[in-house]
Amino acid sequence: MARAKYLLRKADLNRVEGLSNREAAEVLGVGKTTVQEARNRYREYDAIGPDWWKVVEATEEPDTEERVTLGGYSFEQKLDGTILATTKPTDEPQTLEDAYQLLVDKKVDTSGYDVSYGFVEKELASGKVTHQYTMRAVPTKNKATSALQLNADDLLRAIDRYDFTPLVTRTPNPESLVITPSDMQIGKTSFNGGTPETIERVLNSFTKAAQFATEFRPREIVIAELGDPLENFFSTSSQRETNDLDITGQIRVARRLLLDGIKQLAPYAPVIRYATVPSNHGSVRVNFKMPAGDNHNDWGLEIAAQIEDAVRENDTLHHVVFHRPEHLYESMSLETSGTTLGMVHGHQARSADKIGEWWKGQDHGRQPVANADILLVGHWHSFRVQHSGNGRWIMVSPASDAGSDWFTNITGEWSKSGMLGFTTSNGQWNNLSIF
């Protein structure tokens, strides 16, 4: 069957309009991913204008193994086996198949890799639109453990050569995208495994958020890190025997994962905001539940400071802005797209049901979250959204950790892991999901 090079024809998609990707794939005799990618691409073309159909539909040809050679690319293989490739700007639309073909051309066995790609568009002064694609191939066997293999110099090395082409050709959506990494508790082990499994969950969450941002094109992206990035050793007595990483390993992995999230999301908004608050597992302690100093002597705040230092070494990331609470405060607020977001870890209240009462007291005391439209909370490991006061909302984020076997053994309850994501503007929220 003749087809448009790299894409299903628009006429084919019209024929299966209203069907799910899986149903459409069965009708058209292709894979579900092929349908999904074609639908996404044609939505992009709809926004550009009808002249794109002439370009795309004019390139029909019979199915063939032959493929257009990419117009040039950078190709880098890291020490952990991860492969990164970035094409030069080209007017040839590329697909995931081309990313795999690039690996084949470089004599790489694609069966051992998980491959993903993204693209940005540029409109030249002549009116011509070009695409630049970035491909990432992660060895399947290393996907969950690559962050464990990094040495003490990983931070600066990871950021030193990082570069991307920002998405600048279209007016961003007026809403911001908010994503809430919370309670990763790196080093913890439970029913769902340990650090390698947590790494995979966190990376998958950031990847899903980046895929959403690619299509949504938010005005800003807020990475609201709600605390407990590491398990620590002095929160509960069992940690010394059950943790699978020492404290320096926990810090290094948490730092690397959060930096990876910034890098994944950086191309997809003119402003990236990274905010963090102190937490109970993040507290620097000298013994069981014995804090070593005030509430800002916190590993999560220190990790954020280390990431900020590294980001400042790369001019490409000049649009990443960092936020943290004022000294000795455990909560903070920031504004994005007309919405004031409040942030607190959540251990200040005895239960998630008591967060509303805590917020009322903060409001009366004119504390940092007093004027927040939406209060973001971690700590409780269970997703919930509830109305509060006059048009205000409390959002409790799910956790990215391996679960808590002691809690499940007592209650039988099991919470879905992941990161809360939503869009917001003018005090309202939309597109609520768990990445």
Sketch the domain layout of the chain as residue ranges.
3-61, 73-142, 148-434
- Decide: 399 and 182 in contact? Cβ < 8 Å: yes
| 224 alpha carbon, distance to own chain's centre | 11
pLDDT of residue 189: 81
374/394 Cα distance (integer angstroms):
6
Burial of 382 (0-12, 13-18, 19+ CB in 10 A): middle
Weakest-pLDDT range from 42-51, 184-193, 282-291, 318-327: 42-51
pLDDT of residue 69: 35
Average per-residue pLDDT for the chain: 77
Name the percent of the chain lying above pLDDT 90: 29
Whether residue 61 has pLDDT greater than 60: no
Provide the whole-model pTM. 0.64
Pinpoint the alpha helices (H) of 312-431. 355-364, 405-411
324/211 Cα distance (integer angstroms):
27
224/336 Cα distance (integer angstroms):
12
Weakest-pLDDT range from 52-61, 304-313, 403-412: 52-61
Whether residue 127 has pLDDT greater than 50: yes
- Decide: 217 and 170 in contact? Cβ < 8 Å: yes
pLDDT of residue 158: 55
31/281 Cα distance (integer angstroms):
45
pLDDT of residue 78: 63
Whether residue 91 has pLDDT greater than 70: no
At what angle are helices 299-311 and 247-265 packed, to 10 degrees? 50
Which range of 25-29, 143-147, 199-203, 391-395 scores highest in mean pLDDT? It is: 391-395
pLDDT of residue 1: 28
26, 42, 44, 54, 118 from 49: Cα distances, Å:
29, 10, 9, 10, 21
Which tokens belong to 255?
């730092």
- What's the mean pLDDT in 83-105? 70
Whether residue 117 has pLDDT greater than 80: no
pLDDT of residue 122: 66
Whether residue 110 has pLDDT greater than 70: yes
Weakest-pLDDT range from 91-105, 229-243, 420-434: 91-105
What one-character-per-residue DSSP string does 187-238 give? Answer: T--BTTBSHHHHHHHHHHHHHHHHHHHHHH--SEEEEEE-S--B--SSSSTT
- Longest alpha-carbon distance in the chain: 71
Q: What is the dihedral of CA 364, 369, 371, 376, to 10 degrees?
A: -130
Whether residue 65 has pLDDT greater than 50: no
Whether residue 101 has pLDDT greater than 50: yes
pLDDT of residue 77: 67
Whether residue 212 has pLDDT greater than 50: yes
Question: How many CB atoms are closer than 10 A to CB 147?
Answer: 27
- What's the mean pLDDT in 295-313? 91
Whether residue 191 has pLDDT greater than 50: yes
Which tokens belong to 323?
């936020």
Q: Which fold has domain 148-434?
A: Purple Acid Phosphatase; chain A, domain 2 (3.60.21)
Residue 103's pLDDT band, with cuts at 50, 70 and 90, is confident
Whether residue 410 has pLDDT greater than 60: no
Residue 30, helix vs strand vs coil: coil
288/238 Cα distance (integer angstroms):
10
Which range of 45-59, 94-108, 373-387 scores highest in mean pLDDT? It is: 373-387
